[in-house]
C-alpha cells in the first residue's frame, strides 16, 4: 500500500489522510486498553470485527436520518470517513446500571434504570476522562447549547434504534459511548456522529444468560474476549461461514466456564 500521512494514532484506531480533501481513513487496530490505558493488550481480530460492526451500525443509523462520518468501508480494517472537528466530549448513554455508575453510586450491576441517563465526560487521557456537567461544557466552550441539544437528541435516537436492533438478536444494550464531531459548511457548523460503535464502547449482555459480550470480558479478565466480539458480529449476520468454527469454540468455552 502506498505510504500515506498519519494524522492521529489513538488507543484502538489510526487516522490517515484520505484520498480527497475532507476525508480520512480510519484504521481499526487489535489493540485494547482499559482503565485509562493502565491495562493493555490485544484482542486478535478485533479490528476486523469492529470495522464491520461499526459499518453496519453507522449505515443503519444513516437510513433513519442520523448523520454520521461514515462514507464506506475500504477493506477488512479500514473505512473512509468524513473529517470532522472532534468535540472533546464522550457521551455515555445508560439503560441499565453497570460499570462506573454502579461503582460510584452503589447501584447493583444489572439494575434496570427507571429512565435513560446521558452522561458527559471530558475527553482528556491525562485527566482520566473526568465526568462533567452541561455547565462545564458551556463555561469552557467545548460545545454550544444548540450543539448539545442536537447531541442529546441524536444520543436518544441512537439508543432507541440500537436497543431494538440488539433486542432482535437476543442482546440487551446496557450502555454505550458516543463521540460527535463538527463539519463546516461555510460559516455554518453541523454536528454528526463520529468515532465508532462496537463492543469496545458498548456493554452488551446476552438476554437469556446475562453473559457479557463486550470489552468487559477484557477489562475483567473473563476470557473468551475474541469469541464474544465474534458472537456479536455473528448474530448481526456479519460473519462469513468460514469464521463460524471460532464461534463454536466460544460456545464450548462458555459451557466449560459455566457462563
Residue with cell 463460524: 244
Q: How far apart are CA 80 and CA 24, in angstroms?
A: 6
Give the contacts of 19 (CB within 8 A, at least 6 positions apart).
80
Given candidates 52, 56, 73, 177, which one binds ligand TMP under the rule CB under 6 A?
177
- Binding part of the chain for ligand TMP, among 12-20, 75-83, 199-207, 249-257 by CB under 6 A, reads 199-207
**Closer of 154 and 202 to ligand TMP (Cβ):** 202
**Closer of 215 and 234 to ligand TMP (Cβ):** 215
CA 174 from centre of chain: 13
- Please give the size of the binding site for ligand TMP, defined by CB under 6 A: 12
Given candidates 32, 89, 101, 158, which one binds ligand TMP under the rule CB under 6 A?
101
Q: How far apart are CA 160 and CA 154, in angstroms?
A: 10
223 near ligand TMP (CB under 6 A) = no
**Closer of 129 and 147 to ligand TMP (Cβ):** 129
199 near ligand TMP (CB under 6 A) = no
Beta carbon of residue 133, minimum distance to ligand TMP (angstroms, whole number): 15
**Residues 52-66, buried b or exposed e (16+ Cβ, 10 A)?**
bbbbbbbebbeeeeb
Long-range contacts (CB closer than 8 Å, 24 or more residues apart) made by 28-31: 28/54, 28/77, 28/78, 28/79, 28/196, 29/77
231 near ligand TMP (CB under 6 A) = no
**Closer of 78 and 129 to ligand TMP (Cβ):** 129
C-alpha cell belonging to residue 15 = 487516522
Q: Which residues bind ligand TMP (CB under 6 A)?
A: 92, 98-101, 129, 175-177, 201-203
Amino acid at each position: 500500500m502506498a505510504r500515506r500521512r498519519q494524522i492521529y494514532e489513538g488507543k484502538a484506531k489510526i487516522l490517515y489522510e484520505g484520498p480527497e480533501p475532507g476525508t480520512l481513513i480510519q484504521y481499526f487496530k487489535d489493540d485494547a486498553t482499559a482503565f485509562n490505558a493502565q491495562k493493555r493488550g490485544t484482542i486478535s481480530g478485533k479490528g476486523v470485527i469492529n470495522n464491520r460492526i461499526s459499518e453496519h451500525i453507522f449505515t443503519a443509523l444513516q437510513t433513519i436520518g442520523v448523520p454520521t462520518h461514515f462514507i464506506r468501508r475500504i477493506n477488512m480494517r479500514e473505512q473512509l470517513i468524513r473529517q470532522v472537528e472532534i468535540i472533546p466530549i464522550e457521551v455515555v448513554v445508560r439503560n441499565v446500571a453497570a460499570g462506573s455508575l454502579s461503582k460510584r453510586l452503589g447501584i447493583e450491576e444489572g439494575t434496570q434504570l427507571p429512565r435513560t441517563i446521558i452522561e458527559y465526560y471530558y475527553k482528556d487521557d491525562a485527566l482520566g476522562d473526568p465526568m462533567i456537567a452541561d455547565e462545564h461544557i458551556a463555561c469552557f466552550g467545548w460545545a454550544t447549547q444548540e450543539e448539545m441539544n442536537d447531541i442529546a437528541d441524536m444520543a436518544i435516537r441512537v439508543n432507541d434504534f440500537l436497543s431494538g436492533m440488539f433486542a432482535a438478536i437476543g442482546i440487551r444494550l446496557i450502555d454505550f459511548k458516543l463521540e460527535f464531531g463538527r463539519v463546516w459548511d461555510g460559516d455554518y457548523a453541523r454536528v454528526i456522529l463520529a468515532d465508532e460503535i462496537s463492543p469496545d464502547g458498548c456493554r452488551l449482555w446476552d438476554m437469556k444468560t446475562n453473559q457479557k459480550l463486550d470489552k468487559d470480558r477484557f477489562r475483567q479478565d473473563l476470557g473468551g474476549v475474541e469469541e464474544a466480539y465474534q458472537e456479536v458480529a455473528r448474530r448481526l449476520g456479519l460473519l462469513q461461514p468460514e469464521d463460524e468454527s471460532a464461534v463454536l469454540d466460544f460456545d464450548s468455552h462458555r459451557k466449560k466456564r459455566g457462563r
